[in-house]
């Protein structure tokens, strides 16, 4: 049981490049989330999903897109990366109110 995993762990992009962050969970959870964590700002919700095939906007969705084609996977895409998207990105899943977090992806946009 790996829990929540995220790939990649680190990534450096140039402004304007695109990339996809992958989150996978093996706990059969319905709800999945993408957060970003920035110094002094705390954790902020980007997008979330309440089940396979569904997505919804969170607090800071601009510049990001998501997809949940399979229940176990939740993808976060950056179509045209900007320096303001430099952050640590966390994926989480929820069952019975407890949130389980992945180890994070540290993204730097130059």
Partner 1 sequence: KQEVTQIPAALSVPEGENLVLNCSFTDSAIYNLQWFRQDPGKGLTSLLLIQSSQREQTSGRLNASLDKSSGRSTLYIAASQPGDSATYLCAVKAGANSKLTFGKGITLSVRP
Residue 33 sits in the site that holds partner 1 (CB under 8 A): yes
- 23 is a site residue for partner 1 (CB under 8 A): no
Tell me if 19 sits within 8 A of 72, measured CB to CB.
Answer: no
Residue selected from 61, 63, 77, 104 as contacting partner 1 according to rule CB under 8 A: 104
What token pair was written down for 91? 């994926």
For residues 48 and 82, give the distance between their C-alpha atoms in angstroms, rounded to a whole number: 21
Q: Does 10 bind partner 1 (CB under 8 A)?
A: no
φ and ψ of 101, to 5 deg: -105, 150
Task: Restricting to residues 59-78, name those near partner 1 by CB under 8 A.
Answer: 59
User: CA 86 from chain center: how many Å?
Assistant: 13
Interaction site with partner 1 (CB under 8 A): 4, 33, 40-43, 45, 48, 50, 58-59, 90, 92, 97-104
């Amino acid at each position: 049981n790996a829990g929540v995993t995220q790939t990649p762990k680190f990534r450096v992009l140039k402004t304007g490049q695109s990339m996809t962050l992958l989150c996978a969970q093996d706990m059969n959870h319905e709800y999945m989330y993408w957060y970003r964590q920035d110094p002094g700002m705390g954790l902020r919700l980007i997008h979330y999903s309440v089940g396979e095939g569904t997505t919804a906007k969170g607090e800071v969705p601009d510049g990001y897109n998501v997809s949940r084609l399979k229940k176990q996977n939740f993808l976060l895409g950056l179509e045209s990366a900007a320096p303001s998207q430099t952050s640590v990105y966390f994926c989480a899943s929820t069952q019975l109110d407890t949130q389980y977090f992945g180890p994070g992806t540290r993204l730097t946009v130059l």
